[in-house]
A and B are shown apart, each in its own frame.
Chain A
Amino acid sequence: MKRIPKHILTASALCLCVVGLVIYLAIGFTSQRKAEPIYAGPGVTDVKMLSHWFPALAGSNGDTEVYILDSGKPGASMLVLGGTHPNEPSGFISAVTLVEYCQPTSGTLYVIPRANNSAFTCTDPQEAAPTKYYIDTKNGTRWFRFGSRATNPIDQWPDSEVYVHASSGQQLSGSETRNLNRAYPGRADGTFTEKVAYGITQLILAQNISITVDLHEASPEYTTVNAIVAHENALNLAAMTLWEVEEDLSITIEASPTNLHGLTHRELGDYTNTLALLMETANASQGRLHGAIDSELVVTGQDKFYARAATYGAVTVPYTEAGISLSERCARHIACLVQFAEQYDGPDGVISLGAMPTYRQILANGIGYYLSDPQ
């Protein structure tokens, strides 16, 4: 009987190992494509997909839920974008809190928790970021995905060396090609990311949205943090909001630079009638100074390296060993969202988000208290 050569045996054994490893890794990678549940609260009157406003998105990873909270009373409308960058969890969790807790008393609220749905399905390369983080609610623990700043390359590839913003000709690093917040107002025949931006712009135009707020986070050493960035048309609204919230929290206003294109606070203000605003909070799991990223860092915001950096003046916000928790970051977003609505008094009427928790209540109870229990 002829013996099988040794190198054939080892190659065959390694092939089996490859198949096993690929299956194991595939289960891990594809598990991030499973969306975390969002439970429509009592204020939600309808849920549509973004493809309702731009049908070309239907069936793609760019299609995403739009939660509509209609008070039943005519008035102004507000669109809240969470998850433009899914590695900035306070924007996403604030949007989820609106969906599950908010009951507007006048006007209509539109919420897109996963603005860049594709970017929830992967993490940023070389960041060793967790794929999930966990938040305790009143009766259980819920999981949420920690995604990427950019669209999954599975949905849009390859990146150009230089990203040219379509409507302005502005040139940016090729790494911004898949960044939703560099793609506005978007293009119907553009890249995947541009199509998502186009869909959101179409929603704003079709529904004549009065206020659009894009919720973000940035690293504690970034200069634009704990800030509202406002299109020139929305500066008055931002100023009145700051006036109302400054008793509880310190926040600054920045005017949207006229020569920085592709961002919500610039393009949505220029191309639509909406008052475009963007908010930033300080997220220790971003930036370059943090230690290992895990769910605890995402939720507690406690990082000893950032605390030490703060003693050298290397961060731009007050930062101690206590960190800046996800609850505090969401409390900032929600307090300002409530005031954006309250302070708005346009020709299309008023909008009120109803009895939302205050900044201090969220700090005291934690953001999980205002989320639905896992079902």
Chain B
Amino acid sequence: MIKYIYLAIVAFVLALIGVNMFKKKDNFFFQLDAALVMVTLLLRLLLIK
């Protein structure tokens, strides 16, 4: 059960980051930071790492 709670939290954070990345204007480095965080979260969400 705890695994699914963890995955739900990861998916939620990932969605927030994704939405924010598309909303943020004129700040490429913010978007780049967000993209790098998304890589690790996606690997965790897919239970790869």
Inter-subunit contact B32/A14 (CB<8 Å) = yes
Category for how many chain A residues contact B: 20 to 34
User: What's the minimum C-beta distance from B49 to chain A, rounded to whole angstroms?
Assistant: 5
Which 6 A/B pairs are nearest by Cβ-Cβ distance? A14-B35, A11-B22, A7-B25, A11-B21, A22-B42, A26-B48
> Is there contact, CB below 8 Å, between A25 and B35?
no
- The answer to whether B2 touches A158, judged by C-beta atoms less than 8 angstroms apart, is yes
In the assembly, what is the distance between CA of A146 and CA of B5, in Å?
31
Q: Within the assembled complex, what's the spacing in Å between the Cα atoms of A11 and B43?
A: 19
Cα of A22 to Cα of B42 in the assembled complex, Å: 7
Is A154 a contact partner of B2 (Cβ separation < 8 A)? no
Q: Which residues of B contact A21 (CB under 8 A)?
A: 39
- Are B35 and A18 in touch, CB under 8 angstroms? yes
Whether A18 contacts B31 by the Cβ 8 Å rule is: no
Contact for B48 among A7, A14, A30, CB less than 8 A: A30
Q: Given contact pairs A15-B35, A18-B39, enumerate 16 new A-B contacts (beta carbons under 8 Å).
A: A5-B25, A6-B26, A7-B31, A10-B31, A11-B22, A14-B34, A22-B43, A25-B49, A26-B43, A29-B49, A30-B48, A154-B47, A154-B49, A157-B2, A158-B2, A158-B6
B31 engages A11 (CB within 8 Å): yes
B35 engages A157 (CB within 8 Å): no
- Residues of B contacting A: mostly: helix
B11 within 8 A of A: no
A25 touches B24 (CB 8 A): no
**Chain B residues within 8 Å of A38, by CB:** none
Question: Is there contact, CB below 8 Å, between A18 and B48?
Answer: no
Determine the distance from Cα of A5 to Cα of B6 in the docked complex, in whole angstroms: 35
User: Digit string of A1-40 for contact with B (CB within 8 Å is 1, else 0)?
Assistant: 0000111101100110110011001100110000000000
CB closest chain-A residue, reference B35: A14
Q: Name the distance in Å between B9's Cβ and chain A's nearest Cβ.
A: 12
Q: How far does the alpha carbon of A108 sit from the alpha carbon of B31 in the complex, in Å?
A: 62
Q: Cβ of B34: which chain A residues have Cβ within 8 Å of it?
A: 14
Q: A18-B35, A30-B48 are in contact. Are A25 and B43 (CB under 8 A)?
A: yes
Interface centre among A8, A18, A25 (most CB of B within 10 A): A18
Give the CA-CA distance A11 to B30 in the complex, in Å.
Answer: 10
Contact A14 B31 (CB under 8 A): yes
Q: Please give, as numbers and ranges, the residues of chain A lying within 8 Å of B38 by CB-CB distance.
A: 15, 18
A8 and B47 contact, CB distance less than 8 A: no
Residues of A within 8 A of B26 (CB): 6-7
Question: Do B21 and A14 touch across chains, with their CB atoms under 8 A apart?
Answer: yes
> What residues of chain B lie closer than 8 Å to A157, measured between beta carbons?
2-3, 6
Among B11-32, those with CB < 8 Å from A are: 18, 21-22, 24-28, 31-32
- Whether B22 pairs with A7 at a CB distance below 8 angstroms is yes
Interface check B46, CB cutoff 8 A: yes
In the assembled complex, which residues on chain A have CB atoms less than 8 Å from the CB atom of B21? 11, 14-15
Shortest beta-carbon distance from A33 to chain B in Å: 10
CB proximity of B7 to chain A, nearest CB, Å = 11
CB distance from B21 to the nearest CB of A (A): 5
A5-B25, A8-B22, A10-B31 known; A29-B39 Cβ under 8 A: no
CA distance A21 to B26 in the complex (A): 24
Complex CA–CA separation, A29 to B47 (angstroms) = 10
Complex-state Cα separation, A25 to B35, whole angstroms: 15
Closest chain B CB from A78 CB (angstroms): 37
Find chain A residues with CB under 8 A from B35 CB.
Answer: 14-15, 17-18
- What string of 1s and 0s marks CB contacts (under 8 Å) between A158-184 and chain B? 100000000000000000000000000
- Show 8 A/B contacts (Cβ-Cβ < 8 Å), sorted by A: A7-B25, A18-B35, A25-B39, A26-B43, A30-B48, A122-B49, A157-B2, A157-B6
Complex contacts, B47 vs chain A, CB 8 Å: 154
